[in-house]
Amino acid sequence: MKKIPLLLMGCGGVGRQLLHHIVSCRPLHSKQGIRLRVVGVCDSNSLVLASDVSTKELDDASLMEVCRIKSSGSSLHSLSNFGDCQVFSGQEVVKKAIDIADRFGKSTGLAFVDCSASSKTVEVLNQVADLGCCVVLANKKPLTASLEAYDKLVSHPRRIRHESTVGAGLPVIASLNRMISCGDPIHCIIGSLSGTFGYVMSELENGKPFSKVVNAAKSLGYTEPDPRDDLSGMDVARKGLILARLLGHRLSLENIKIESLYPLEMAPNVLPVEDFLVNGLPLLDKDIQDRITKASSKGKVLRYVCLIENNRCEVGIQELEKDSPLGRLRGSDNLLEIYSRCYREQPLVIQGAGAGNDTTAAGVLADILDFQDLFS
């Protein structure tokens, strides 16, 4: 049986769903001769580890207890007295994680999985990659930090995967990598890359108020932990930047023109997230509904569009024909049109669910399994 040891950073909606997928896929993986050994899981402040990571793993009962504890809003620290595991907190977390990466990097290898939404993980990811570990990200922030950090992170191309960072489980990065590696130059990508905006826009077209549909998108697991990351356009800009960098454009977030749906006085440094969700959002209802009605009177719909072309990337709202490919999108679906030499007149089109814990975690799991040939 091929064993893949795994350490998971981030145990929110996506991280917990990943653990559920790992447990429910046991019979399938067993038929394929693969065993995913989860040796540790951490949240923002604690790390829970198998008692002896070299020989033991967090068993399925422990993984489900981790999920239960995190769903209830508690810290992993509360697992201190649970079963046969060790818990580390505070500064010890990163130290211990690197220690494990060092040990496994020199022996069997380790899949180090970032399902956090933190910008602070980039350093630890770079260190574990240097130590020989495989890195999988659902988190877009490390890939959209400085160009220097990005270059370092992608400098081990056979040991890094981040399919779920754009289009959740959709095969976007894999398709682009195939085109790039066979010398098919990509001239332009146009897309609707936000499950949140997709869902919000189509629910607004059904006459529902903006404030209600943003809260619903959050409950459905489509939004970022703070939905302003979506509504500011920043989440789409990050995805655009990840694609642009993959195509070789030397861009950073500051180079991207981004349109925000809320004013500066509702920004995270001014208004706590709960305040924004309860009191801020209703103040935006009328303005957004007016924009939808105006577009509709011309037979058009609003879509939040990402355009990458000529070494530039821009993201913002566009009025599009109802009957255009992007105009026809419903719900949390994403759609990308990719134009290249081979797909010059008719673009390569990738469409499907572009957000949600299930599809995102499935994409992360597929990325982990993609490394199987590197493990024995």
Ligand X SMILES: N[C@@H](CC=O)C(=O)O
Q: Which of 65, 114, 235, 333 forms a contact with ligand X (CB under 6 A)?
A: 235
Of residues 295 and 329, the one with the C-beta less far from ligand NDP: 329
168 contributes a contact to ligand X by CB under 6 A: yes
- Within 10 angstroms of residue 55's Cβ, the number of other Cβ atoms is 7
Least separation, in Å, of the C-beta of 292 and ligand NDP?
24
Q: Distance between CA atoms of 27 and 36, rounded to whole angstroms?
A: 12
Least separation, in Å, of the C-beta of 58 and ligand NDP?
16
Q: Are 364 and 115 spatial neighbours (Cβ–Cβ below 8 Å)? A: yes
Considering CB distances under 5 to 8 angstroms, the limit depending on partner class, which of ligand X, ligand NDP, none binds residue 196?
ligand X
Q: Which of 5, 15, 233, 240 forms a contact with ligand NDP (CB under 6 A)?
A: 15
* Per-residue contact string for residues 124-163; x = within reach of ligand NDP by CB under 6 A: --------------xxx-----------------------
Considering CB distances under 5 to 8 angstroms, the limit depending on partner class, which of ligand NDP, ligand X, none binds residue 194?
ligand X
Q: Is 2 a catalytic residue?
A: no
Spell out the residues 6+ positions from residue 316 whose beta carbon is closer than 8 angstroms to its own.
233, 257, 258, 259, 304, 305
354 contributes a contact to ligand X by CB under 6 A: yes
Q: Distance between CA atoms of 137 and 43, rounded to whole angstroms?
A: 15
* Per-residue contact string for residues 33-52; x = within reach of ligand NDP by CB under 6 A: ---------xxxx-------
Kindly state the tokens that stand for 21: 């997928």
Indicate the SS3 state at residue 72.
coil
Q: Which of 79, 85, 117, 131 forms a contact with ligand NDP (CB under 6 A)?
A: 117
Q: How far is CA 20 from CA 25, 66, 160, in A?
A: 8, 11, 23
Q: Distance between CA atoms of 275 and 89, rounded to whole angstroms?
A: 30
Considering CB distances under 5 to 8 angstroms, the limit depending on partner class, which of ligand NDP, ligand X, none binds residue 351?
none
Catalytic residue among 70, 141, 218, 239: 239
Q: Which of 6, 47, 204, 355 forms a contact with ligand X (CB under 6 A)?
A: 355
101 contributes a contact to ligand NDP by CB under 6 A: no
What residues from 49 to 88 belong to the interface with ligand NDP (CB under 6 A)?
Answer: 70
What residues from 190 to 229 belong to the interface with ligand X (CB under 6 A)?
Answer: 194-196, 222-224
Kindly state the tokens that stand for 136: 């999988």
Q: Where do the H-state alpha helices sit in the chain?
A: 13-24, 26-31, 60-71, 92-106, 122-130, 147-153, 172-181, 195-205, 210-219, 228-231, 234-246, 273-275, 285-297, 357-369
Kindly state the tokens that stand for 344: 């010059």
Q: Distance between CA atoms of 41 and 58, rounded to whole angstroms?
A: 9
Footprint of ligand NDP (CB under 6 A) = 9-15, 42-45, 70, 115-118, 120-121, 138-140, 164-165, 168, 195, 221-222, 224-225, 355-357, 360
